[in-house]
Structure 1
Amino acid sequence: MTDATPVTPHDMPSETPAQDVAERVNNRSQRPDSAAFKAFITSGWAPRAALDVEPLAAAPFTAARRDALSARFPGARLVVPAGALSVRSNDTDYRFRPHSAFAHLTGLGTDQEPDAVLVLHPSAGGGHHAVLYVRPLAPRDTEEFYADSRYGEFWVGARPSLDDVTTVTGIEARHVDELRDALAKDVGEGGVTLLVVTGADAGVEALVEAIRAEAGSDTIAGTDVTGSEAVDADLVEAVSELRLVKDAHEIEQMRQAVDATIAGFAEVVRNLPRATAHRRGERVIETTFDAHARLEGNTVGYETIAAGGEHATTLHWIRNDGVVRSGEMVLLDAGVEVESLYTADITRTLPVDGVYTETQRRIYTAVLDAADAAFAVAVPGARFRDIHAAAMEVIAARLEEWGLLPVTAAESLSPEGQQHRRWMVHGTSHHLGMDVHDCAQARRDLYLDGVLEPGMVFTIEPGLYFKSDDLTVPEEYRGIGVRIEDDVLVTAEGNENLSAALPRRAEDVEAWIASLLD
């Protein structure tokens, strides 16, 4: 990686004891600051070529989403930050990803617009007027152009202009330097409530708090918001619930993410022989999928789980530094995040040699039967919690049949029992979309207790996990973990398995592996 400070042939300045530690990043090189240098580097450039921008396909949908949010907060000023760059190491940043609420309401994805803030300003006649406050492209006669390693064109490329942002998003764009005055207008005595999506940008949250304090009251619009948590939580909740039912554009993005993920699973299978030959076979699987995700999408939607053998009994195994052994299985839980930031989340548990053993097949089939039972109840009008309940009935019945439960299946399924959960401690489903665990801030009565509606997208992912040191199960079960996960769209007629193209039945998985390794 290129050094983050321009290098010159001058000698390093000597450090004094009083030198600010925060400034010592510049010790390793010296930024040129002569008038001659500045005059030379800011001149002699051809006119900038116009960026190739066109309106986002999502723009009509994002406008409808903003209207829905507007209707929930009449008269309030709503602040939705994209987020700031985050330091990874010393003076290098992580690749930027905007907050999901910001991306959902603007259509901007990938690594676009750090520090940007979407504000919905209340309109006098009702509703809101949306403005995007962004850091636009700096002129070439500014120091930012050549010297700012975070934002400068010389370092990170040309940023869009305000007109470019407006063209792309359909939202009026203004310079982020105007944000403070815009947020403060009419707050307090003017009757405007100021709400911010918390957890996205600490700097913007601090600005909102300062404006509230300057308004001279710890109550806004008659609601006690000391510390601001109460009303801000309402906005956080609302932007999360806004994604519970996906619109047509979102569903299309989900289909693309799922299709790209299925292709990535095929790439992994083709590389299974390479994985078994490597001392870190799990890393072979991880990097194969992650490279595919970066080539065909934006990146992975979450850290890939590539768990060979007993590692599959660790639910979120992401160290991925183990071997992949003949005769065992590998659990691959992975998803491609496409450019719009929508992600798939699919799991298959694959026999390394291409054929399940008798014990592996028995456990795998039980998990598949639980998944099928969950699919059967994932229809409009059912409650989200019914999906898990249906899967658990099968899991408990199978564990009873195998003689593993210390009580009957019925007793285990009771709230006072739950012994079957020893071997599946996680839930069966979660909403899916821009976040792998989407809509997580939604109210319980709309999520866990919510009624299923067409347009909802979630996972179905039962599993069974028998730890290698679990003395309550037969030795042949120990060290085996199985999970089968699919991405499901609720439709008016029932549901659609978006990931159905990836084989699920044991015999179909075996045939699929054979076809890819021929």
Structure 2
Amino acid sequence: MSEEASQSMADRGQNRSRQPQSSAFRDFIGTGWGPRPSELPERERVADFLTDRALKAGAPFPGERLVVPAGPYKVRSNDCDYRFRAHSAFAHLSGLGGEKEPDTVLVLEPNEDGTHTPLLFFKPRASRSSKEFYADPRYGEFWVGARPSLEEVSAQTGLETRHIDTLRDVLAKDAGTVQLRVVRGVDGHVEAMVNEVRAQASLPAGEDARKEDEALEEHLSEIRLIKDAFELEEMIRAVEVTKAGFEDIIRVMPRAVGHRRGERVIEGAFAANAREEGNGLGYETIAASGNHANTLHWIDNDGEVHDGDLVLVDAGVEVDSLYTADITRTLPVNGRFTEVQARVYQAVLDACEAALARANEPGCRFKDVHDAAMKVIAARLHEWGILPVTPEESLATTGQQHRRWMPHGTSHHLG
């Protein structure tokens, strides 16, 4: 059997890279590097809000250990990963945005008084004398840059930090008397570790454990419904940067008209702004010209843009803190609406303004916003003679004919 055939698939990539294996190389590559920065990074503004977020997160679960993974890298193809984006519950409780830090886990450790202490477990950078430094294309400093140290992350976030290798011991501490919950579907390795500890400690498993974990996930989502001052600032920033992206779209419109994939000219202009001013896109941009705008989630963006068309753009910038905006606008390619285009545009604008007015009324429920918009849509469709019943009949739960032109909801939560 050849040497290559006896290798595992995971190790065969070394045949391509021809990585040096000699002890002389290993001894030499770890020497002669300049010193690392000695000053710790400044404490980030978000750190001032993390204690309160941890208190809210743990309030319904006194005495329980809560596990919130950031998630691992996700493979795009072969040895190429997608850019890392942490799970939102983790980002909210840790304050870590941007592309920091894959494989990190936040544990809310129970205190005797019913509160929780947040502990951040992650993989710090390796020594320059280690094989990981030069040989690991996913985590090695030589390949992807230096990961922060435990001390650096603690200085930034104000949280206690520990090495990821100690995570299992912490999860297993007093297991049996201390209940475990984990946010599922984020990190399979962490989830398996939690389930292993549960089994060894005879803690609830199966359907019972699933329900307990889902209750944690639901609560961590709901505490983000009310934004603190930092979050409001970041959402406003996301809107401002997104607005600038739409202004860039208007500037490239003439070039889009002359391109065989004009929709992608629009998409690209917005994406460039998103990467320059933020972390990137909050979601895939919809740049739909002409009939493509009738497809609700048109993200192929491979069509032409013609003079006289309307272009619908649904796009948002995600800033470095991972808060995103979400703006939809319909633009006339040549800067002028036809009479019919203007009527439809005005109807949608009127529905939007009615929804916003209702949203600002005390006691407004989420569905009331949608209902306010639907009243306008039903009325306009009736005025145009294309609604087969009266607006009142259509708005009744037994009707809903107006929803043919809008089967989706009016809005969703943001942030």
1:241 corresponds in structure 2 to 222
Query: Take 2:350 and 2:40, find their aligned partners in 1: how far apart are those partners?
Result: 51
Tell me if 1:416 matches 2:404: no
CA contact (8 A) 1:42 1:140 kept: yes
Query: Take 1:200 and 1:64, find their aligned partners in 2: how far apart are those partners?
Result: 24
- Structure 2 segments unaligned to the other structure (5+ residues): none
1:396 corresponds in structure 2 to 378
Which residue type is aligned with residue 316 of structure 1?
H
Tell me if 1:197 matches 2:183: yes
1:182 corresponds in structure 2 to 170
- Identify if the C-alpha distance between structure 1 residues 321 and 14 changes in structure 2 by more than 3 Å, giving closer, same or farther: farther
Aligned match for 1:387, one of 350, 369, 378: 369
Compute the displacement of 1:45 (Å): 1.7
2:294 corresponds in structure 1 to 313
Compute the displacement of 1:17 (Å): 4.0
Tell me if 1:281 matches 2:281: no
Which residue type is aligned with residue 364 of structure 2?
A
Trace 1:80-479 onto structure 2 (pairs within 5 A): 80-188=68-176, 191-218=177-204, 226=207, 228-379=209-360, 380-433=362-415
CA contact (8 A) 2:235 2:323 kept: yes
Which secondary structure does the structure 2 equivalent of 1:228 belong to? helix
Paired residues, number: 414
Query: Take 1:86 and 1:277, find their aligned partners in 2: how far apart are those partners?
Result: 37
Query: Take 2:281 and 2:44, find their aligned partners in 1: how far apart are those partners?
Result: 22
**In the TM superposition, what whole-angstrom CA distance separates every residue of 1:73-101 from its partner, at most 9, and x where no partner exists?**
10110001011011111011111011111
Compute the displacement of 1:202 (Å): 1.2
Which residue type is aligned with residue 104 of structure 2?
A
Which secondary structure does the structure 2 equivalent of 1:427 belong to? coil
- Identify if the C-alpha distance between structure 1 residues 390 and 40 changes in structure 2 by more than 3 Å, giving closer, same or farther: same
CA contact (8 A) 2:54 2:117 kept: no
CA contact (8 A) 1:25 1:91 kept: no
Query: Take 2:83 and 2:150, find their aligned partners in 1: how far apart are those partners?
Result: 23
Which residue type is aligned with residue 201 of structure 1?
D
Which residue type is aligned with residue 182 of structure 1?
V
TM-score by length of 2: 0.97
Which residue type is aligned with residue 185 of structure 2?
G
Which secondary structure does the structure 2 equivalent of 1:72 belong to? coil
Which secondary structure does the structure 1 equivalent of 2:312 belong to? strand
- Identify if the C-alpha distance between structure 1 residues 19 and 158 changes in structure 2 by more than 3 Å, giving closer, same or farther: closer
Greater share of helix: 2
Which secondary structure does the structure 1 equivalent of 2:83 belong to? coil
- Identify if the C-alpha distance between structure 1 residues 63 and 217 changes in structure 2 by more than 3 Å, giving closer, same or farther: closer
Compute the displacement of 1:27 (Å): 3.1
CA contact (8 A) 2:4 2:12 kept: no
**Which is worse superposed, 152-161 or 318-327?**
152-161
Query: Take 2:77 and 2:40, find their aligned partners in 1: how far apart are those partners?
Result: 33
- Identify if the C-alpha distance between structure 1 residues 381 and 136 changes in structure 2 by more than 3 Å, giving closer, same or farther: same
Compute the displacement of 1:251 (Å): 0.6
Which secondary structure does the structure 1 equivalent of 2:59 belong to? helix
**In the TM superposition, what whole-angstrom CA distance separates every residue of 1:272-330 from its partner, at most 9, and x where no partner exists?**
00000101000000000000110111101111110000000111111000000001100
Which secondary structure does the structure 1 equivalent of 2:65 belong to? strand
CA contact (8 A) 2:74 2:84 kept: yes
**Which is worse superposed, 20-29 or 255-264?**
20-29
1:441 corresponds in structure 2 to none
Which secondary structure does the structure 2 equivalent of 1:88 belong to? strand
TM-score by length of 1: 0.78
Tell me if 1:79 matches 2:61: no
Compute the displacement of 1:217 (Å): 4.3
CA contact (8 A) 2:239 2:325 kept: yes
What's the RMSD between the two structures over aligned residues?
Answer: 1.4
- Structure 1 segments unaligned to the other structure (5+ residues): 1-12, 220-224, 434-518
Query: Take 1:402 and 1:69, find their aligned partners in 2: how far apart are those partners?
Result: 51
Compute the displacement of 1:30 (Å): 2.2
